[in-house]
C-alpha cells in the first residue's frame, strides 16, 4: 500500500489516500510514484498529490529505510515544495 497526501491551496494537506501497490507498479514489479499519482488523478480528478510514508517521522524511517519527505503528514499540515518536505502548521501569532 502506498500513501499520498492531497495538496490544496497554499500547499496545505487537505486529504490523504492509500493506493494499492499493484496500481503503483510497473509490469516489471518496480514501484513508481508517478504511477500512483496518475491513478489518483484519474480516480479523483484532483491533480496535486505527493507520496508520503507513514514510517517517516522527523526525518527518520522507523524501519531503517530511506525516509520520505521528512514527515508523514496529517490534514492541515503543509508541503514545502522548495525543500520537498511535509511540516506541521505554523503557529498563529
54-82 pLDDT tens trace: 999 999 999 999 999 999 999 999 999 99
Q: What pLDDT score does 85 carry?
A: 97
Residue 90 is predicted with a pLDDT of: 76
The C-alpha cell 508517478 sits at 34
Query: Using one digit for the tens of pLDDT, what is the confidence trace for 15-61?
Result: 999 999 999 999 999 999 999 999 999 999 999 999 999 999 999 99
Give the Cα separation of 73 and 78 in Å (integer): 8
Task: Indicate the helix (H) or strand (E) that contains 69.
Answer: none
Stated pTM of the model = 0.91
Amino acid at each position: 500500500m502506498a500513501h499520498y497526501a492531497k495538496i490544496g491551496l497554499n500547499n496545505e494537506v487537505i486529504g490523504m489516500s492509500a493506493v494499492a501497490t499493484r496500481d503503483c507498479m510497473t509490469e516489471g514489479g518496480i514501484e513508481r510514484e508517478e504511477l500512483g499519482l496518475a491513478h489518483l488523478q484519474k480516480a479523483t480528478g484532483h491533480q496535486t498529490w505527493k507520496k508520503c510514508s507513514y514510517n517517516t517521522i522527523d526525518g527518520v524511517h522507523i524501519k531503517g529505510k530511506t525516509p520520505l519527505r521528512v514527515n508523514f503528514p496529517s490534514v492541515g499540515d503543509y508541503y514545502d515544495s522548495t525543500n520537498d518536505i511535509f511540516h506541521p502548521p505554523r503557529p498563529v501569532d
